[in-house]
């Protein structure tokens, strides 16, 4: 049985296999063909943090696959009142066929998975957001940018940045990360990504100069400067991130055919200018839609792996 907790655990071949399935499932969905890949299966969806895209895409996704999603807010289940994560996992995983969790801590997610009888999917933690990156990579392929891919990430060294690090490392593409001083990526995650990169040929660089990162990039991406749980630091962060807004002047340094990606929600005039966001909004909202298709593929893939055993 496999879980989907971080792309660190997924080889290039496996990522390609899931993305290929996502392309097929998306095509079927667009043709109004809803194959019941997971008939009568239940997906438990535990949310300890807010969500629009993750909730709607997983719930719709499992329904379209022939199953049903259970939305479990941590405020409403006993987990929020202190029931141990290990007990929550041992109970829920005896009743459902797959579990998606969005919570604060990657360590707790891993603890939950270690007790689970069914596949567990990371729906975002403080460290990683791997399902988002599968949607992002699907969007990159749809724009035929996967060859000679040069991604520039400009902004906070956060869960999105760490996920880009792992995707670049596994797929072997070039990733340039620009973060302000004091907001760099996690050192251990960077080290792990570099170890994988040595084998795959990925070129990963970091800088505190956004222009240096964007120069010639074929994909430019960013994320909020204030992630969920960091609201108290908002004012300080806005000051510290001065000069890191992706705007038209910055985009002019990228490859002329470059696309702009954003996992959303986007905060205009902070990490991205209104003008740049609107100019690239069609791609950004396709990226959001791709959450549905990519996650359906992840669920089908995990379900199949479980049956193989």
So which residues are the catalytic ones?
102, 129, 132, 223, 263, 291
Of these, 11, 52, 75, 114, which contacts ligand CP (CB under 6 A)?
Answer: 52
- Of 65 and 166, which CB lies nearer to ligand NVA in the complex structure? 166
Selection from ligand NVA, ligand CP, none that 224 binds (CB < 5 to 8 A by kind) is ligand NVA
Q: How far is CA 71 from CA 26, 57, 102, in A?
A: 24, 12, 11
* Site size toward ligand CP, by CB under 6 A: 8
Give the count of beta carbons closer than 10 Å to the beta carbon of residue 50.
11
Task: Give contact residues for ligand NVA (rule: CB under 6 A).
Answer: 124, 158-160, 223-224, 227-228, 263
CB 264 to ligand CP: min, Å: 5
Q: In sequence order, which residues have a C-beta less than 8 Å from that of residue 187 and are 6 or more positions away?
A: none
Contact predicate 162/7, CB 8 Å: no
**Across-strand partners of 272?**
246, 268
Is 53 among the residues that bind ligand CP (CB under 6 A)? yes
Angle at 279 between CA 214 and CA 268, to 5 degrees: 80
Interaction pattern, residues 253-272, with ligand CP; x per rule: CB under 6 A: ----------xx--------
Q: CA 295, CA 299: separation in Å to the nearest integer?
A: 6
Is 54 among the residues that bind ligand CP (CB under 6 A)? yes
Instruction: Kindly state the helix (H) or strand (E) to which residue 64 belongs, with its residue range.
Output: helix 53-64
CB 124 to ligand NVA: min, Å: 6
Interface with ligand CP (CB under 6 A): 51-54, 124, 132, 263-264
């Amino acid at each position: 049985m496999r879980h989907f907790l971080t792309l660190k655990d997924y080889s290039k071949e496996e990522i390609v296999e899931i993305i290929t399935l996502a392309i097929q499932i998306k095509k079927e969905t667009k043709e109004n063909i809803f194959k019941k890949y997971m008939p009568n299966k239940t997906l438990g969806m535990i949310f300890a943090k807010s969500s629009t895209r993750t909730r709607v895409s997983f719930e719709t996704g499992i329904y379209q696959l022939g199953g049903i999603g259970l939305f479990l807010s941590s405020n409403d289940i006993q987990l929020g009142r202190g029931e141990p994560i290990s007990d929550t996992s041992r109970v829920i995983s005896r009743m459902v066929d797959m579990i998606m969790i969005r919570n604060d801590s990657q360590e707790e997610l891993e603890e939950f998975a270690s007790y689970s009888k069914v596949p567990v999917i990371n729906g975002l933690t403080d460290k990683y957001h791997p399902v988002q990156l599968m949607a992002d990579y699907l969007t990159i392929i749809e724009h035929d940018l996967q060859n000679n891919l040069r991604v520039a990430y400009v902004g906070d060294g956060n869960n999105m940045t760490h996920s880009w690090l792992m995707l670049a490392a596994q797929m072997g593409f070039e990733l340039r990360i620009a973060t302000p001083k004091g907001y760099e990526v996690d050192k251990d995650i960077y080290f792990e990504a570099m170890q994988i990169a040595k084998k795959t040929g990925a070129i990963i660089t970091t800088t505190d100069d956004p222009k240096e990162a964007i120069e010639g990039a074929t994909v430019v991406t960013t994320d909020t400067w204030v992630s969920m749980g960091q609201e108290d630091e908002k004012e300080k962060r806005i000051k510290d991130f001065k000069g890191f807004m992706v705007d038209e002047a910055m985009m002019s340094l990228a490859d002329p055919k470059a696309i702009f990606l954003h996992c959303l929600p986007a905060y205009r005039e902070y990490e991205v200018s209104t003008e740049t966001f609107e100019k690239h909004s069609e791609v950004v909202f396709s990226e959001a839609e791709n959450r549905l298709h990519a996650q359906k593929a992840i669920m089908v893939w995990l379900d199949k792996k479980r049956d193989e055993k």
